Chains A and B, each alone.
Chain A
């Protein structure tokens, strides 16, 4: 992964298993969001590839890429809602475009998705009329509009109040359990990491590569790399095993 000749991260190699909650963690500016952008096909990797179910994303035909993209749902850091549309239109657009559902069923699904993120009754609001945290949750509702197989979240709980943040974590787990979706979450919220992640990868800003991969609790207690242990303990108890 690189911007021009500036390499953000190199030698990244990990596997996200179907149906798991996978967390990409690391300090600010280490390239977490950039990695996510590469995984969802927004940025071309300088070298290497992203493989879904054995199918390479970057060497796929444009049609195959479309097919793969249809299976993604992406929730962006700031919500990235289309500002000229109401929340209902934002969530409803993928349903109108990619399904043949009648309007009233689309309306019901939209209401359900908004209710799941705690925004019931906000259908007719424009993005500029609601708060930042609400924007973010509406972005999550849009990402899961089509019940995607893989959901990507870029810092889902940053900027949310503790209750909303907790609800979002619960929702991520619930969607995984009930719909069998795979979740890829970029975050550095420790509470979130420990409560939702099955596996995590740690990107290091200094060495510019991944220095740990595994279940976060195991990493916290047993990871040989002190940077990772310090990160997962908020800097406390540096290299000492507790």
Chain B
């Protein structure tokens, strides 16, 4: 009888060879995986080297065991079965034998899952197809939302007024705080930057023009839209994404209630209505921020500053900002709802949908703002 043993704290394993070509694995000690166990590969390679044709087990010396022992034995069994070596499980503890029987009761499913990386041309093609599909899906969503608007006009849209009011409250009054803070600081910063330059020419009074025109035509609507994209657009995406995960959207569809009308329409209407109001509010707060600098730092009187502001801004400037803000409201609402409805059904996917909603909104906001600038320039406003 010759033997070799692999030894780690507590758990030990010895391979005893029996004439002519058999072997017995002798387990001893505490076979608890928390404390570290011998590697099955050692025993397996020894059995292989000896060329045994049947293997038995002896576990009488084991004092305690857990899943570690079961996995060890399973590994040995798998290896011996693959090499046509007969095994006798009689020497194993009863519990181990029964657990192994349970584990073997349902055969392993051959899922054929492979993570091969396709060649670059195939990846390029897949990406191109995905990009086209994304555009199609986006356009389809835009179309469906227009249909929902049409249904609203024909008074056939199904949604609850209370839902609409809730969204209005959330993206209107509840957004005032952050919009105030941002607009006030932006007005202040614009005035500071302008003041430093204009003071050199002794034209500090024109800070009022700078702040008023910049706020009303550009900054107020774009900043409000970006704030709403981060605040409300992301919330829409997360909410609809979670509803999708919980099959709430499926439940609406099977009931014959269009999710576009029931979920997307109120959100879109609320943002279209609230964005211009928030923008006008942002205009005023921004001008106030500029006035603080003008009056406090440049020594202008408040009458002087506000008179200059009044002369500088035309109604058309306000209207341009307000028009843009309505369009931006549609963009933010659509991007948020689109990403939410497209979201996958897991926590990670919902997070991704929220991120993607913000990114999509901001990209489209900037692109549309550029287009507006060109058009207004051509029209001579």
Residues of B near A105 (CB, < 8 A) are: 33, 37, 39, 68, 71
CA–CA, A177 to B75, complex, Å? Answer: 23
For the complex, is B379 an interface residue (Cβ under 8 Å from A)? no
Q: In the complex, which residue of chain A has the Cβ closest to the Cβ of B346?
A: A83
Does B66 contact A128, Cβ atoms closer than 8 Å?
Answer: no
CA–CA, A48 to B319, complex, Å? Answer: 65
Interface residues of B in 34-58 (CB under 8 A from A): 34, 36-37, 39-40
* The residue from B67, B106, B347 contacting A120, defined by CB atoms under 8 A apart: B106
Interface residues of B in 45-100 (CB under 8 A from A): 66-68, 70-72, 74-75, 93-96, 98-99
CA–CA, A122 to B107, complex, Å? Answer: 11
Residues of A near B75 (CB, < 8 A) are: 108
Q: B215 CB to closest chain A CB, in angstroms?
A: 43
> How many chain B residues touch A (Cβ–Cβ < 8 Å)?
38
For the complex, is A99 an interface residue (Cβ under 8 Å from B)? yes
Q: B270 CB to closest chain A CB, in angstroms?
A: 30
Does B102 contact A174, Cβ atoms closer than 8 Å?
Answer: yes
Residues of B near A229 (CB, < 8 A) are: none
Q: Is the interface of B mostly helix, strand, loop or mixed?
A: helix
For the complex, is A113 an interface residue (Cβ under 8 Å from B)? yes
CA–CA, A118 to B75, complex, Å? Answer: 18
CA–CA, A116 to B66, complex, Å? Answer: 14
Does B348 contact A84, Cβ atoms closer than 8 Å?
Answer: yes
CA–CA, A119 to B95, complex, Å? Answer: 20
For the complex, is A68 an interface residue (Cβ under 8 Å from B)? no
Residues of A near B33 (CB, < 8 A) are: 99, 101, 105, 109, 147
Does A101 contact B113, Cβ atoms closer than 8 Å?
Answer: no
Residues of A near B36 (CB, < 8 A) are: 100-101
Does B103 contact A120, Cβ atoms closer than 8 Å?
Answer: yes
Does B109 contact A84, Cβ atoms closer than 8 Å?
Answer: no
Q: In the complex, which residue of chain A has the Cβ closest to the Cβ of B107?
A: A120
For the complex, is B110 an interface residue (Cβ under 8 Å from A)? yes
Known contacts A83-B348, A170-B102, A178-B98; is-contact A112 B37 (Cβ 8 Å): no
Q: A41 CB to closest chain B CB, in angstroms?
A: 22
Q: A142 CB to closest chain B CB, in angstroms?
A: 13
Q: In the complex, which residue of chain B has the Cβ closest to the Cβ of A86?
A: B113
Known contacts A83-B347, A115-B106, A178-B95; is-contact A124 B113 (Cβ 8 Å): yes
Does A116 contact B108, Cβ atoms closer than 8 Å?
Answer: no
Does B105 contact A121, Cβ atoms closer than 8 Å?
Answer: no
Does A120 contact B109, Cβ atoms closer than 8 Å?
Answer: yes
Closest 8 CB pairs of A and B: A178-B95, A83-B346, A121-B109, A115-B103, A84-B348, A118-B106, A120-B108, A108-B71
Give me 16 A-to-B residue pairs in the complex whose CB atoms sit less than 8 angstroms apart, sorted by A's number. Answer: A82-B347, A99-B33, A101-B36, A105-B68, A111-B71, A113-B67, A115-B103, A121-B111, A122-B109, A122-B111, A124-B113, A125-B111, A147-B33, A174-B95, A177-B98, A178-B93
